[in-house]
Amino acid sequence: MDGTYYVGVDLGGTYIKAGLVDEHGAHLSNLKLATQADRETETVVSNIHKAAEQAIAEAKVPRDAVAGIGIGSPGPLSHSKGIIYKPANIPCFRNLPLRDIIYAKTGIRTTLENDANAAAWGEFWAGAGRDVKDFIMFTLGTGIGGGIIVDGRMLRGHFENGAEIGHCIVARNGRQCGCGQRGCVEAYSSAHNIATRAAELIGQGEASSLKSIIDSGEELNAKHVEQAAKAGDALAMRVWDDACHYLAVLIVNMQHICNPQRIVLAGGLIAAGDYLLNRVREYAQQETWKLLDDMPEIRFADLGDNAGFIGAAGCAWEACRTGQW
Amino acid sequence: MDGTYYVGVDLGGTYIKAGLVDEHGAHLSNLKLATQADRETETVVSNIHKAAEQAIAEAKVPRDAVAGIGIGSPGPLSHSKGIIYKPANIPCFRNLPLRDIIYAKTGIRTTLENDANAAAWGEFWAGAGRDVKDFIMFTLGTGIGGGIIVDGRMLRGHFENGAEIGHCIVARNGRQCGCGQRGCVEAYSSAHNIATRAAELIGQGEASSLKSIIDSGEELNAKHVEQAAKAGDALAMRVWDDACHYLAVLIVNMQHICNPQRIVLAGGLIAAGDYLLNRVREYAQQETWKLLDDMPEIRFADLGDNAGFIGAAGCAWEACRTGQW
């Protein structure tokens, strides 16, 4: 596959990121367009098409050297059918056969993948997992997403909805999650929930230096909680530590289920650096069994915001390699 | 592979079960020998060899129609290296290259698999999972073992120690487990732990009809707890319900991680029938999310005690099919 290239498109509710990527995962172009998710379907589809064409044009590569297009999209969606069902942040999309639409518009074979899976594939293919075969990525943002690679293959599952690791229950009868469950790891450890949990506890009358931020009318975020915890605020420390502790429980559970060589953390929350990573590692060592030493390495992702489009391109590369679109 | 056969050996601490199995998973012989696990390595190995030869002889099949031998063994072990490290219930085995030993003794290619994985593979190949591709089995015995099949392939993981689902943590800072962790599902839901937890609570002074069994000097077992729960004993009901509830939490977690079509329960505990299955199903429905309907089917296994040797034979069949021994 020397000299062939892959378009990666990372579709988000606000922006479409796209680029042309070579067979080693290096990108030759890298651009960002507005999604215009509040407009009608045709506009959003046209923006996706435009981003893909622009990624090729900007890379100055002959069009016939482009072997595939990969699109990472918010779900729920079907990879095998190429259909996006009803993404929360692109309300005009309803059961849209985006894969076949983009194939028809470009004449280039296209594959569709869940955005968290695509980003994990990007790190696996060209980032923090490029030297391993059993790999898991947690994306710690507003919610918690994930991608799981087992023996070099994406784990999707029968309903094509696997690796929804944020909704693993770590506390029976625990905190309410937006998904309808209670005690999901997302309800304790996502950036959004770190902030809302702190605000809730303060609202219940617990003392905290964070109260002044809430009282000022500013919306509390995870960075505020992190900073207050570092400054010794007891409530913020508890919320931050619980977030790290529940992530460690999830890591131990993934250790026993998928037994990966490496687990990589990505997403906005990793801006906290060692204040996150060291705690998560310590709690994982504390929680894990003593029978065997099969704890995966725990580290941060490499590709940052580019993981999405690079991984989407990687999904097209994989589809070419295996012949499975 | 018409007309070819596979020997399956299920190595346990007390018995070796073995049989000859055809390419559809039907067995032509089925026998049981004593393991003699308290004797020296040569004796145990000789018993395994004897069981395999007897399985062929009793089936009255030409020896050259036997394409492979599969051995399911207690771990920890390495499938890829064919080595058993140090099984708790066969103390003479230490880093034993059993796969190559049996191959040398029989002249028939041999594969080695973790016993819980082999049993799950048996159900997947020829039992309660034969019509699905994404399948998980929980074996509920003294401990809780498991096997995970993802898109038709056994999930083993980098350290070859995947699907240790009994050691998923479902209660942070929960009950101590034999593995060194706290709050494992095994610590609440295995037959052994259902009994020991009830005994512990009674020892702490809680009232229960089960106290008379303990006082009589009889060892409490899970069947006692089940019967007392059915008869309305409050403590037994709580222990039984918690066991079912935590199994349901594990099921929901497996739903989100591996997204299987079906989860099958096996092992001694399923003798409780609907009193187990209905509660587990109800709690799973209660615990799962409302975003999507991707709850796997939950049912009992089909093959009973034969799953181990049939699955071991199935592992040999798979090794022949893929060329990966």
DSSP A152-197: TEE--TTTT----GGG-BSBTT-SB-TTS-BSBTHHHHSHHHHHHH
* Residue in A297, A190, A295, A301 with CA at minimum distance from that of residue A252: A295
The label of the residue with tokens 């490499």 reads A302
What lies within 8 Å, CB to CB, of B34 at 6+ separation is: B14, B15, B16, B47
A290–chain B nearest CA distance, Å = 6
B63–chain A nearest CA distance, Å = 35
- What one-character-per-residue DSSP string does B30-85 give? -EEEE--TTS-HHHHHHHHHHHHHHHHHHHT--GGGEEEEEEEE-SSEETTTTEE-
The whole-number pLDDT of residue A88 equals 86
Residue A153 backbone dihedrals phi, psi, to 5 degrees: -125, 145
* Residue in A299, A209, A172 with CA at minimum distance from that of residue B248: A172
Task: Kindly give the parts of chain A with pLDDT less than 70.
Answer: 1-2
Beta strands in chain A (DSSP E): 5-11, 15-22, 31-34, 66-73, 77-78, 83-84, 110-114, 135-140, 144-150, 153-154, 262-266, 297-300
pTM for this prediction = 0.97
Please indicate whether, in this complex, the C-beta atoms of A159 and B261 are within 8 angstroms of each other: yes
Half-sphere exposure of A128 (CA within 13 A, CB side): 22
ipTM for the assembly: 0.96
Q: Is the pLDDT of residue B112 over 50?
A: yes
B92–chain A nearest CA distance, Å = 18
Of the candidates B169, B171, B246, the beta carbon closest to that of A252 is on B169
Helices (H) and strands (E) in chain B, counts: 10, 12
DSSP code for A29: -
* Bond from prior residue into B76 cis (ω within 30 degrees of 0): yes
- A299 beta partners: A264
B305–chain A nearest CA distance, Å = 24
DSSP code for A258: T
Which residues in chain B touch residue A169, judged by CB atoms under 8 angstroms apart? Answer: 170, 249, 252-253, 287
Q: How far apart are CA B188 and CA B167, in angstroms?
A: 11
Let me know: does A284 contact A256? Beta carbons within 8 Å. Answer: no
The percentage of residues in chain B with a pLDDT greater than 90, rounded to a whole number, is 98
A99, A105, A108, A320, B321 from A5: Cα distances, Å? 18, 18, 11, 11, 34
Let me know: does A313 contact A121? Beta carbons within 8 Å. Answer: no
Averaged pLDDT for residues B271-275: 98
CA B186 to chain centre: 13
**Residue A284: both structure tokens together:** 């994982």
Which residues in chain B touch residue A291, judged by CB atoms under 8 angstroms apart? Answer: 76, 179-180
The whole-number pLDDT of residue B1 equals 42
The percentage of residues in chain B with a pLDDT greater than 70, rounded to a whole number, is 99
Nearest CA in chain A to B245: A172
Q: Is the pLDDT of residue B2 over 70?
A: no
Which residues in chain A touch residue B162, judged by CB atoms under 8 angstroms apart? Answer: 256-259
* Residue in B161, B179, B178, B13 with CA at minimum distance from that of residue B92: B13
Please indicate whether, in this complex, the C-beta atoms of B156 and A151 are within 8 angstroms of each other: yes
Please indicate whether, in this complex, the C-beta atoms of A179 and B290 are within 8 angstroms of each other: yes
The whole-number pLDDT of residue A182 equals 97
The whole-number pLDDT of residue B3 equals 75
- B33 beta partners: B16
A276–chain B nearest CA distance, Å = 19
Averaged pLDDT for residues B256-260: 98
Helix (H, G, I), strand (E, B) or coil at B201: helix
pLDDT interval class at B213 (50, 70, 90): very high
* Residue in B213, B178, B183 with CA at minimum distance from that of residue B198: B213
CB contacts < 8 A, A to B, total 155
Please indicate whether, in this complex, the C-beta atoms of B165 and A256 are within 8 angstroms of each other: yes
List pLDDT tens digits, range B175-211. 999 999 999 999 999 999 999 999 999 999 999 999 9
* Residue in A256, A139, A242, A108 with CA at minimum distance from that of residue A183: A242
Let me know: does B310 contact B137? Beta carbons within 8 Å. Answer: no
Please indicate whether, in this complex, the C-beta atoms of B259 and A164 are within 8 angstroms of each other: yes
What lies within 8 Å, CB to CB, of A204 at 6+ separation is: none
* Maximum separation of any 2 CA atoms in chain B, in Å: 64
Which residues in chain A touch residue B84, judged by CB atoms under 8 angstroms apart? Answer: none
Please indicate whether, in this complex, the C-beta atoms of B181 and A150 are within 8 angstroms of each other: no
- C-beta atoms surrounding A278 within 10 Å: 12
Q: How far apart are CA A211 and CA A224, in angstroms?
A: 11
* Bond from prior residue into A76 cis (ω within 30 degrees of 0): yes
**Residue A24: both structure tokens together:** 């080693």
* Residue in B112, B8, B100, B94 with CA at minimum distance from that of residue B51: B8
Mutation choice for B interface testing from A172, A177, A287 by most B CBs within 10 A: A172
Mutation choice for A interface testing from B253, B292, B322, B324 by most A CBs within 10 A: B253
The whole-number pLDDT of residue A1 equals 41
Mutation choice for B interface testing from A77, A245, A291, A298 by most B CBs within 10 A: A291
Q: How far apart are CA B320 and CA B67, in angstroms?
A: 7
pLDDT interval class at B166 (50, 70, 90): very high
